[in-house]
Structure 1
Amino acid sequence: MSRRLFFRLWLAFVGLALAHPGAAAASDPLAEALALPTAGSLTGAADVPVFGWVENAAGVRNIWVGARGQPARRLTAHTQDDGLQLYDLAFSRDGSSLAFVAGGDEEYPDEESLPNPAARAEAPAQQVFIVPVAGGAPLLIGRGHSPVFSPDGQRLAFTRRGEVWLWSRSGQAQSLVKVDGRITSLAWSPDGARLLLSESRGEHSYVALLDAGDGRLRYLDPGLGHSTDPVFSPDGHEVAFIRYLSPPQGAAHDVGTYWSIRVVDVASGRARSLWAAPAGRGGRYAGTRSRNLFWSRDGHILFPWERTGWMHVYAIDAARGGEPRALTSGAFEVETFLLGGDRTSLVYAANDGDIDRRRIWRRPIAGGPAVRLGGRDSTMLFYPTVAGDSVGAIATDVARPAHAVLLDERASPLGRAPAAQGFIAPEAVTFRAADGMESHGQFFRGRGEGRRPALVYIHGGPRRQMVLGFHPSRYYSNGYIMNQQLAARGYHVLVVNYRSGTGYGLAFRDAPDTGREGASEYRDILAAGRWLEARADVDPARVGAWGGSWGGYLTALALARDSDLFASGVDFHGVHSMLRPVPNNLSPEAQERARQLQWASSPLGAIDRWRSPVLLIHGDDDRNVDFAQSLVLARELSARGIPYRELVFPNERHSFFRHDSWLQSLRATMDFLDQTLMRRQPLQ
């Protein structure tokens, strides 16, 4: 080869590497899939069909906007995997401005100690910004969260650690009032004169009205229990809200009435009970994953109820009350719902007709058939969102993670929607535990021939349902990617939707003796392991388990109770001791029995039977599961000579904020399972 030809080839190679940085490196399917952009926090403008969402691409979060017939545009310019969360998106009604929050923790927004997963010299503050949708630099409004524009778009209310702040385009933000509890559900009255809010004080909460002019606060019909989901009537003259009590420890499920809908006249403060749930199914309050009370333009209040044993939406006349009318019905669950842009129709997401997937429908409140939105292909649709006369959603399928779509004749992407390469369609399966409970799962068939290792994947929550494709949550999207990669390496993987999860009705979600009251959901995990063990293409000596949070708890329980079946496991931030204070409505003897049951339901309660190796993964700034849960388990494993490995992330939260933390965790999981199950090598 001549020197000139060599030089030309070398230049071509360098040019290819610069244009495609990963081209010269070895392919890393796990890293490539984890780096795919995922969308969340979809919101819409009230009067125009403009949508906004947060995109996370390899840990770099940015806000995008899009609409029918217009290319999506990025409104922020973040470039680092720094763990800085973006959330609480809120448009002005005309769609010209978008407020959002950067920094802090969306799940725990009022904490004094702010997350700092990138270990900066100072933790990033939790700050409210406004950005022009037409383009321009974001404007810092102040510290806080939960921003909401006034109807005319000239003012912005937000909250910070029990205070309500008000910003005006003609001045700086000012504090209006400070309360003792945490403020949620902040909303403006239709005339822009008042703010409505719910104030949580731990074991009880109130609904209050705040005068936006002079800061006077007035509590509406305060009572015992929780008052939540307040909503104005269309004319602003009344407020409705849900009031509920938590049932006492040990109460039978078919007795007691624990919740009602209250209506208060704003001018006089007079309150009335519009409706109270009767005893029996649905007598205990349970909401959906979104707002749970809406007041339609034609005078109906919409709310969720499980009277039939399934979560459905009901309507009741706001003036006359009476018997609620079911707007949805059947052997399926409504996951989220809202009013259509005309405020006379219901839009909802449910697993109607396909219990392990999600679709979106719309139907008139006054009556008429439900119409499915977004076409009839295999795309799953979550979290319907209204913008003007349009409906958007978060969509996923087998190969494409969460992305924003417009629901027209089909689910048309509003922004980027790249697909993962080589992903297989998981298979829907069912199996029964020893006590007869049927569970659903998704089976990822491992590549290759002959007997191979197998894994049970256990989701967290436990109020969750895994689906037949990418999950809209980034946490479970990453779990789905990992299960696909494990299958590609030859593992069979069975994802278990165990009892106490959602999607399969009230009896399944509220199954007896779960958690601290007996860990009955573990029977479904054991059944899943036995289901895999019995397959002719599974090596019964190489069955393992992995999962996070409640799934980490059940993984640890599997290893502690049944090391003869579960030969290895990976426990992401799991609970290992279920001991907690016992309610004081029980006698001293009953309290002691309850504590003994908590211990028997704990992995530590069976630690002397634990033999299998485990990988423990935890961030030490976890606010959902105390880091001490992994510390105490490591001590007990060490004392018994049980082999384990550890991966700890200083300053990380429960659902790791940094992409690199996820990548390290899943690579370590792959290596650990390859060593202990695929190759059956002892830990060094």
Structure 2
Amino acid sequence: MRATLKPLAATVVAFAPPALAQTDDLATALALPVASQMAGARDVPRFAWVENRAGVRNLWVADAGRQARQVTRHAEDDGMMLYDPALSPDGRRLAYVRGGDDEFPDGKIPNTASAAFTPGQQVFVVEDGGDPTPIGDGHLPVFSPDGQRIAFTRRGELWLWRAGKAARIAAVPGEVSDLKWTPDGKRLLFVDNRNDRAFVALLDADGGRLTYMEPALGYSVEPALSPGGDQVAYIQYLDPPAGAARDGGPYWSIRVADAATGKARTLWTAPQGMGGRYYGTRQHNLWWSKGGRLLFPWERSGFLHVYAIDAAKGGEPRALTSGSFEVETFVLGADDMVTFAANADEADRRHFWQVPASGGTAKRVTDGKGSESLPVLAGGLLAGIAADARHPAHPVLAKGLAPLGETAEMKGAIAPEAVTYRTEDGVTVHGQLFRGQGKGPRPALIFVHGGPRRQMLLGFHHAQYYSNAYVMNQALAARGYTVLSVNYRSGTGYGQAFRDAPGIARDGASEYRDVLAGGRWLAAQTDVAPDRIGIWGGSWGGYLTALALARNSDLFKAGADFHGVHTLLRNVENNLSPEQQAAARQKQWDSSPMGAIGTWRSPVLLVHGDDDRNVDFGQSLLLARELAARRVPHEELVFPNERHEFFRYADWLTAYRRTISFFDAHLK
């Protein structure tokens, strides 16, 4: 797999992978640039994005039809994240954050490169054509409507930068998210997150009055301002209690509050039945149109779609999208046009569609052999992140998929095949098949994604973690392994019934049936050696890898378990009786790899970063102790100070090389 870089209306920066060992095909492919964190200016067609090239992260800016330019000049694979890019309305200023963890921005700051001292987390601003200037510690910078001020947050504090100086203007007990300005630039709207509850609040920008929008039990989230700024809409929801019936509720509603007083009214409440539990997309989930409609996601049909409701009168919501597909994300333009990314035509790809907020027929606006994700608007132009079987995530304009920056190509990549198979309990499972090169019968592997609320696609994924996994599956196929990537139940893309299937996770691990059926499907292929099948995956995929080896070492002869969950035991909610709590904990144990540790025979490679904030490092330590006690062969690879989604290219490359060597030793 040789990689080449094609300059397309972009400045191409000369690049060589860091000196780690030898430069090989895996190192080259894994070093290809991946774009993320795209942002747009309000008034002009200017876009910004983060590029990760072999762990070196930099910011780029491009105007439609002009050459992209690099804004930052970082040159090290130092594990320092770049995120939260924001452009001023006129596009002349760019703010962003360097350092910290964008998934846990208010948590302990990581030091994944093991520097002598832990680096900081800083907000920077760049004037058009200038150099980055730090303005304070924190994250989530947001420009005021006139572009002259920047609000940002740090561990519950709210800060305001103007005229070259930043000052603290307020502090709240929780963590601040969804920060935005009112249209007149006088107040700040945000969510105050306090673990088991969240409140929507408005703060005077001079640090004066703080007004909460009628606090309630549960979570007030996704605030949206009316066009005039005098009202705030938000979603109010409760988590269903343990053991609740699927048709219980109501659990969520849409409320509208007076911005001056905080007094709220319930505009609409989700009825019982399908869609009675709140579930949103991966971007903002409530928009207020100029035409007076509130747009929100709802699973009333069993699939996640966009609905509109009259913001003044309420009434019955109107479906703007419909069909047996899911809306992944959606945005509202200044012209009241809704752009959404969905798998409407192809189950394992994404494309952009548009529909008026007032209703009408949705029209597809992007075409291609890949996927388009995360729509962004700037000055009336639509852009997003595109990827396909040979090209990792890169920024494009929606029209003609014209690249805004550089498009990298992975030479020698094979196009994965879409496959389906059925499980013993009758579930149809989708997967992507990477056929191994060379003569058969050949060794084979199951790949299981994490999440589990994820979906692997027929090409590079827009998320860095799964873009890396795609490269790894290509590398394994090039070495003669046939790889089946399984989109198991509890994942996204195939409707609510598939995502919330009976008995998943701690309630019985029913998703493992999809993995087991995939292994047996591989074993039945004429070009696969049925006695040389392995499995690998990370996070929840690590859990399923461990479960496969514990329950079915007869089929799965080796596995690579990246930061997996090995015991599902956790506290049970107090709404259950003591007897019900005991039964629930027993089910958790039976659903865990630890619950079947006695039948584990196959060798495993355990990979974990010890500063993991998603899956505790102790999960792998627990498993290693148990395997050692039972003399089950296992290898270990530990990265001190590394997080769940390894921040350093060097660590990904080391982990993948070790995984290939491990499988070569046990399956070839």
TM-score by length of 2: 0.96
**Contact 1:48–1:94 (CA under 8 A) maintained in structure 2:** yes
Q: 553, 575, 587: which one pairs with 2:565?
A: 575
Matched, 1:345 2:341: no
Letter in 1 for 2:387: T
Letter in 2 for 1:632: L
**Contact 2:17–2:54 (CA under 8 A) maintained in structure 1:** no
The C-alpha deviation readout for 1:82-109, integer Å capped at 9, x for no partner, is: 0000000111111110110000000011
Letter in 2 for 1:402: A
The C-alpha deviation readout for 1:428-485, integer Å capped at 9, x for no partner, is: 1111111111110001111122211110000000000000000001100010001011
The C-alpha deviation readout for 1:335-388, integer Å capped at 9, x for no partner, is: 00010242x1100000001011000011212233222223x2213100000001
Instruction: Measure how far apart 1:538 and its partner are.
Output: 1.1
CA distance in 1, matches of 2:234, 2:397: 31
CA distance in 1, matches of 2:119, 2:433: 41
1:435 paired residue number:
425
Q: 95, 107, 131: which one pairs with 1:137?
A: 131
CA distance in 2, matches of 1:311, 1:382: 16
Identity %: 61
Letter in 1 for 2:180: A
Mean Cα deviation higher: 659-668 or 361-370: 361-370
**Contact 2:17–2:28 (CA under 8 A) maintained in structure 1:** no
1:392 paired residue number:
383
Distance verdict in 2 for CA 1:290–1:21, change over 3 Å: closer
**Contact 1:38–1:401 (CA under 8 A) maintained in structure 2:** yes
**Contact 2:211–2:262 (CA under 8 A) maintained in structure 1:** no
Aligned length: 654
Question: Match of 1:635, SS?
Answer: helix
CA distance in 1, matches of 2:444, 2:206: 63
1:560 paired residue number:
550
2:123 paired residue number:
128
Matched, 1:368 2:360: yes
2:114 paired residue number:
119
Query: 1:23-422 alignment to 2 at 5 Å?
Result: 28-111=24-107, 113-132=108-127, 134-169=128-163, 171-342=164-335, 344-374=336-366, 376-408=367-399, 410-422=400-412
2:610 paired residue number:
620
Matched, 1:466 2:461: no
Distance verdict in 2 for CA 1:459–1:586, change over 3 Å: same
Letter in 1 for 2:99: G
**Contact 1:259–1:276 (CA under 8 A) maintained in structure 2:** yes
After TM superposition, the runs of 4+ consecutive aligned structure 1 residues lying more than 3 A away are 18-23
2:631 paired residue number:
641
CA distance in 2, matches of 1:245, 1:360: 31
**Contact 1:86–1:103 (CA under 8 A) maintained in structure 2:** yes
**Contact 1:623–1:654 (CA under 8 A) maintained in structure 2:** yes
The C-alpha deviation readout for 1:69-91, integer Å capped at 9, x for no partner, is: 10000000000000000000111
CA distance in 2, matches of 1:269, 1:356: 43
1:8 paired residue number:
none
CA distance in 1, matches of 2:646, 2:545: 19
**Contact 1:341–1:387 (CA under 8 A) maintained in structure 2:** no
CA distance in 2, matches of 1:194, 1:286: 29
Query: 1:451-600 alignment to 2 at 5 Å?
Result: 451-600=441-590
Letter in 2 for 1:361: W
1:676 paired residue number:
666
CA distance in 1, matches of 2:17, 2:140: 39
Question: Match of 1:413, SS?
Answer: coil
Distance verdict in 2 for CA 1:636–1:26, change over 3 Å: closer
CA distance in 2, matches of 1:204, 1:516: 24
Instruction: Measure how far apart 1:22 and its partner are.
Output: 11
CA distance in 2, matches of 1:26, 1:224: 57
CA distance in 2, matches of 1:673, 1:417: 32
CA distance in 1, matches of 2:218, 2:22: 58
Letter in 2 for 1:659: Y
Letter in 2 for 1:310: F
Q: What's the C-alpha RMSD, in Å, of the aligned pairs?
A: 1.4
The C-alpha deviation readout for 1:278-315, integer Å capped at 9, x for no partner, is: 00000000000100000011111000000000000001
Letter in 2 for 1:127: Q
Instruction: Measure how far apart 1:21 and its partner are.
Output: 9.1
Question: Match of 1:71, SS?
Answer: coil
Mean Cα deviation higher: 173-182 or 656-665: 173-182
CA distance in 2, matches of 1:542, 1:150: 59
CA distance in 2, matches of 1:44, 1:487: 38
Mean Cα deviation higher: 264-273 or 70-79: 264-273
The C-alpha deviation readout for 1:657-681, integer Å capped at 9, x for no partner, is: 0000000000001000011011xxx
Distance verdict in 2 for CA 1:498–1:593, change over 3 Å: same
Distance verdict in 2 for CA 1:138–1:19, change over 3 Å: closer
TM-score by length of 1: 0.94
Letter in 1 for 2:151: A
Letter in 2 for 1:645: E
Structure 2 unaligned regions, length at least 5: 1-13
Letter in 1 for 2:116: A
Letter in 2 for 1:117: T
**Contact 2:450–2:538 (CA under 8 A) maintained in structure 1:** yes
Structure 1 unaligned regions, length at least 5: 1-17, 679-684
Distance verdict in 2 for CA 1:20–1:584, change over 3 Å: closer
Mean Cα deviation higher: 26-35 or 308-317: 26-35
